[in-house]
Amino acid sequence: MKPITIGITDCGRYPNYENWIKHVPGTEVIRLTNLIDKSSSIDQCDAILLSGGQDVHPRFYNKMEYLKFYEDTVPDIDEQRDEFEWKVLEYAQEKKLPVLGICRGLQMANVFFGGTLIVDIPAAGMENHSKIKEGEDRYHRISVSVNSELNKIAGTDAGLVNSAHHQGAAIVAENLTVNAVSGDGVIEGLERKDFNQHPYLMLVQWHPERMIDQQSVFSRNLRDSFLEAARSRYE
């Protein structure tokens, strides 16, 4: 069987995503970055994984008034990365590549398709979804929409996921639909409307690549469904 190649967008914890994907036999990865390794070409990729990391610059979702939130935390945004991942998403749509977005990846994809973000979840009056400390994620339960593709993938209506984010989806892009929420109403997952009529697009706010329980249906099943979508391009 021909190996499948997954393009993973670069971030500070890139090895976590690489190891999570390469753990499955028959998979190869390419580090997609606008800074280094120019020889790694996106045209070799069978699918795209959008990794976690910095906040998306508010200009990409027309909320420039949010910039005041970043007055003392400029390193938390990286416009070059935003612009690069925007092009990656354009390419993925053009070539009909499967896409899995994780944490920031959900936020970037929602913005790309026309949605907006909550600039800071606690400031919006909801519970803290950030990690407890460096290297220790928070955990909470989510409810999964009964008729969603995520429900089919996970095989459950609810479960426990990790959490390490302070932003989330606000207005959901028109061609996306919510598939999971936390107890306090924060959107925990998005997917395409009419999922099976379009290329695979699954977006989750948690970090399946570093969940303590790697056999969780919210880690293993999610990865397997994504890789199967990449393999199906050869069927």
Q: How many residues appear in the chain?
A: 235
Question: Looking at the whole model, is its pTM more than 0.85?
Answer: yes
Express each pLDDT in 135-151 by its tens digit. 889 999 999 999 999 99
Kindly state which CATH superfamily the domain 4-234 is placed in.
Class I glutamine amidotransferase (GATase) domain (3.40.50.880)
Active site residues: 103, 207, 209
Q: Is the dihedral of CA 130, 135, 140, 146 positive or negative?
A: positive
What are the domain boundaries of the chain? Answer: 4-234
Nearest one of 24, 38, 30, 39 to 9, comparing CA atoms: 30
Q: What is the mean pLDDT of residues 156-167?
A: 95
For the cut 90, the answer to whether the pLDDT of residue 133 exceeds it is no
In this predicted structure, what is the pLDDT of residue 75? 56
Bridge partner list, 77: 55
Q: Summarize pLDDT for 207-231 with one digit per residue, the tens.
A: 999 999 999 999 999 999 999 999 9
How far apart, in whole angstroms, are the C-alpha atoms of residue 123 and residue 146?
Answer: 30
Per-residue confidence (pLDDT) for residue 39, from 0 to 100: 46
Q: Comparing 95-99, 132-136, 162-166, which segment has the lowest mean pLDDT?
A: 132-136
Q: What is the 3-state secondary structure (H, E, C) of 70-109?
A: HCCCHHHECHHHHHHHHHHHHHHHHHCCCEEEECHHHHHH
- 222-231 helix and 14-22 helix, angle to the nearest 10 degrees: 70
Residues 177/202, Cβ–Cβ less than 8 Å: no
Instruction: Choose the most confident range, by mean pLDDT, from 31-45, 118-132, 219-233.
Output: 219-233
Neighbours of 226 (CB within 10 A): 21
